[in-house]
Chains A and B, each alone.
Chain A
Amino acid sequence: MDTKEYILKNLRKNVRETYDMPDLSFRKRTYDNPVDAFIETTTTTAGAKLMEIKAGDDINQKIREAYPDAKIIASNIPGIEASLNPDSVAEAQELEKTDVGVIKGEVACAENGCVWIPQTMKEKAICFISECLVILVSRQNIVSNMHEAYERIQFNEYGFGTFISGPSKTADIEQSLVYGAQAARDVTIFLTD
Chain B
Amino acid sequence: MSTKHSIAAEKFIQNSERVTRHDQTFWSVRSKRDALAYELDEWENLREAASNIKKHTVTHLADYLEQFEQNATRNGAIVHWAKDAEEYNQIVWSILRQHEVRKVVKSKSMLTEECHLNDHLIGNGIDVVETDLGERILQLMELAPSHIVMPAIHITREQVAECFRQKGIIAEHGAHAAEGILPEGEDYTQSSDPTFLTRAARYHLRDNFMTAECGMTGANFGIAETGDIVVCTNEGNADMSTSVPKLHIVSMGIEKLIPNYEAMGVFQRLLARHGTGQATTVYTSHFRGPRPGGEMHIILVDNGRSSILGNEEHWQTLKCMRCGACMNTCPVYRRSGGYSYTYFIPGPIGINLGMLKNPDEHYHNLSACSLCCSCDNVCPVKVDLSSQIYRWRQNLDGMHHSDAIKKAMSKGMKILFEHPSLYVTSLKFAPLVNVMPKCLTDIRLNGWAYGHTMPVFAKKSFHEIWKKQLKSENV
Which residues from chain A sit less than 8 Å from chain B, CB to CB?
2-4, 6-8, 10-22, 24, 26-29, 41, 45-46, 92-93, 96, 111-114, 122-125, 127-129, 145-147, 149-151, 153, 155, 158-176, 178, 180-185
Which residues of the other chain, B, contact A164 by a CB distance below 8 angstroms? 282-283
Q: A172-B150, A180-B202 are in contact. Are A163 and B284 (CB under 8 A)?
A: yes
Contact A92 B62 (CB under 8 A): no
Contact B306 A168 (CB under 8 A): no
Query: Is the CB of B198 closer than 8 A to any CB of chain A?
Result: yes
Q: What's the Cα separation between A96 and B75 when bound, in Å?
A: 28
Q: What's the Cα separation between A52 and B24 when bound, in Å?
A: 40
Which residues of the other chain, A, contact B157 by a CB distance below 8 angstroms? 173-174, 176
Q: Nearest A residue to B82 by beta-carbon distance?
A: A3
Which 4 pairs between the two chains have the least Cβ-Cβ distance? A183-B236, A14-B310, A159-B289, A181-B235
Contact B287 A14 (CB under 8 A): no
Contact A150 B41 (CB under 8 A): no
Contact A146 B306 (CB under 8 A): no
Which residues from chain B sit less than 8 Å from chain A, CB to CB?
25, 28, 39-42, 45, 48-49, 52-53, 55-56, 59-62, 65-66, 75-76, 81-83, 87, 131-134, 137, 150-153, 155-157, 160, 194-195, 197-199, 201-202, 205-206, 209-210, 226, 234-237, 239-240, 243-244, 254, 259, 261-266, 268-269, 276, 278-292, 300, 302, 306-307, 309-310, 312, 315
Q: List 11 A-B contacts (CB under 8 A).
A: A11-B306, A13-B310, A159-B289, A168-B282, A170-B198, A172-B153, A173-B155, A173-B157, A178-B194, A181-B235, A183-B283
Q: A22-B52, A45-B278, A175-B28 are in contact. Are A183 and B133 (CB under 8 A)?
A: no
Contact B287 A127 (CB under 8 A): no
Q: What's the Cα separation between A15 and B65 when bound, in Å?
A: 15
Q: A11-B62, A182-B131 are in contact. Are A168 and B236 (CB under 8 A)?
A: yes
Q: Nearest A residue to B241 by beta-carbon distance?
A: A182
Contact A162 B292 (CB under 8 A): no
Q: A159-B289, A178-B195 are in contact. Are A28 and B52 (CB under 8 A)?
A: no
Find B205's partner among A16, A112, A161, A182 (CB 8 Å cutoff). A182
Count CB-based A-B contacts (< 8 Å): 244
Find A125's partner among B198, B237, B244, B265 (CB 8 Å cutoff). B244
Q: How far is the CB of B278 from the nearest CB of chain A, in Å?
A: 7
Contact A147 B265 (CB under 8 A): yes
Q: Is the interface of A mostly helix, strand, loop or mixed?
A: loop
Which residues of the other chain, B, contact A2 by a CB distance below 8 angstroms? 81
Q: What's the Cα separation between A18 and B61 when bound, in Å?
A: 10
Find A96's partner among B61, B201, B210, B281 (CB 8 Å cutoff). B210
Q: Nearest B residue to A17 by beta-carbon distance?
A: B59
Q: What's the Cα separation between A184 and B59 when bound, in Å?
A: 41
Q: What's the Cα separation between A124 and B245 when bound, in Å?
A: 12
Q: How far is the CB of A33 from the nearest CB of chain B, in Å?
A: 17
Contact B236 A128 (CB under 8 A): yes
Q: What's the Cα separation between A182 and B132 when bound, in Å?
A: 8
Which residues of the other chain, B, contact A173 by a CB distance below 8 angstroms? 133, 137, 152, 155, 157, 160, 194, 197-198
Q: What's the Cα separation between A27 and B66 when bound, in Å?
A: 32
Contact A12 B62 (CB under 8 A): yes
Find A7's partner among B53, B81, B264 (CB 8 Å cutoff). B81
